[in-house]
Amino acid sequence: MYNNKKILAIIPARGGSKRLPRKNVLNLANKPLIAWSIESAKNSKYIDKLILSSDDEEIINVAKKFGCEVPFVRPKELAQDETRSIDVVLHTLKTLKENYDYVILLQPTSPLRTTKDIDKAIEFYFEKEATSVIGVCEMEHSPLWANTLDETMSMENFLDDKYNNSRSQDLPTFYRINGAFYMSTVDSIVKNETFFVKENIFAFLMSQEHSVDIDTKLDFIVAEVVLKNFK
């Protein structure tokens, strides 16, 4: 709770991941991947309720073991490859009997997000009097040195002439959405069906180390290395 306003946090975790099968229950540093997000959220001083939305029995059992509430099993039609995270959030809000003022989405694929990150992001949200706050981090590589390629693999006009001979440290700083934190009012989510509202939306800056997003085996290995060297 923050200023007498109730905060709900949702961890969405379906069982059918393709690029890294069963990733949500894979052991990361001797703990299931999903447990990292559960523990960081449970230790938050502001979150009133933390729940899991999942269609998968094993994921549900692991979540319960680590103290996460699982008040329902997510319908199969909301656990498909094309299912949007916002649809999972809307389903959760409709299914729960209790009312909340704010909702936070915490993807389990961001295991290095800490309790401190969560609480600072919530504080930032209220300091800004925001409608939505989204977690971001500095990009590892500038998009100004990137482009598409056709079948010829030609690099003619690949880069803007302005940046052809630039040093990487001289390029403008870009930021990317890191997938670790999304927060908005419940009213806005129900009305707009998105965290990405057009106005009064702000970025909460997180470190690259805490922004590792696990979708592939390589991401998983990177997370293990970061845990050993930065945690």
- Say which CATH number the domain at 189 has: 3.90.550.10
Which residues span the domain enclosing 24?
7-137+177-230
Q: Is 128 exposed, middle or buried (0-12, 13-18, 19+ CB in 10 A)?
A: middle
Q: How many CB atoms lie within 10 A of CB 39?
A: 16
Whether residue 188 is contained in a domain is answered as yes
Distance of alpha carbon 149 from alpha carbon 102, whole angstroms: 43
Distance of alpha carbon 180 from alpha carbon 170, whole angstroms: 28
Q: What is the pLDDT of residue 162?
A: 87
Per-residue pLDDT of the chain (231 residues; tens, 9 = 90+): 988 999 999 999 999 887 898 999 999 999 999 999 999 999 999 999 999 999 999 999 999 999 999 999 999 999 998 999 999 999 999 999 899 999 999 999 999 999 999 999 999 999 999 999 999 999 999 999 999 999 999 999 999 888 887 888 888 999 999 999 999 999 999 999 999 999 999 999 999 999 999 999 999 999 999 998 875
Q: What is the pLDDT of residue 17?
A: 80
Q: With contact defined as beta carbons under 8 Å apart, do 64 and 24 qualify?
A: no
Distance of alpha carbon 26 from alpha carbon 215, whole angstroms: 12
Q: What is the pLDDT of residue 87?
A: 97
Q: With contact defined as beta carbons under 8 Å apart, do 164 and 137 qualify?
A: no
Whether residue 34 is contained in a domain is answered as yes
Whether residue 160 is contained in a domain is answered as no
Phi-psi label, residue 6: left if phi above 0, alpha if psi -120 to 50, beta otherwise: beta
Q: What is the pLDDT of residue 123?
A: 98
Q: How many CB atoms lie within 10 A of CB 176?
A: 15
Whether residue 124 is contained in a domain is answered as yes
Query: Helix (H, G, I), strand (E, B), or coil: what is residue 176?
Result: strand
- Helix (H) / strand (E) containing 225: helix 217-230
Q: How many domains does the chain have?
A: 1
What stretches of 24-167 show up as alpha helix (H) in DSSP? 33-42, 57-65, 85-95, 115-127
The residue length of the chain stands at: 231
Task: Rounding to the nearest 10 degrees, give the CA dihedral for residues 166, 172, 176, 178.
Answer: 90
Distance of alpha carbon 46 from alpha carbon 7, whole angstroms: 7
Please count the helices (runs of H) and the strands (runs of E) in the chain. 6, 6
Whether residue 1 is contained in a domain is answered as no
Q: Residue 27 is encoded by which pair of tokens?
A: 């052991």
Whether residue 170 is contained in a domain is answered as no
Q: What is the pLDDT of residue 231?
A: 57
Whether residue 152 is contained in a domain is answered as no
Whether residue 119 is contained in a domain is answered as yes
Q: Residue 51 is encoded by which pair of tokens?
A: 């729940």
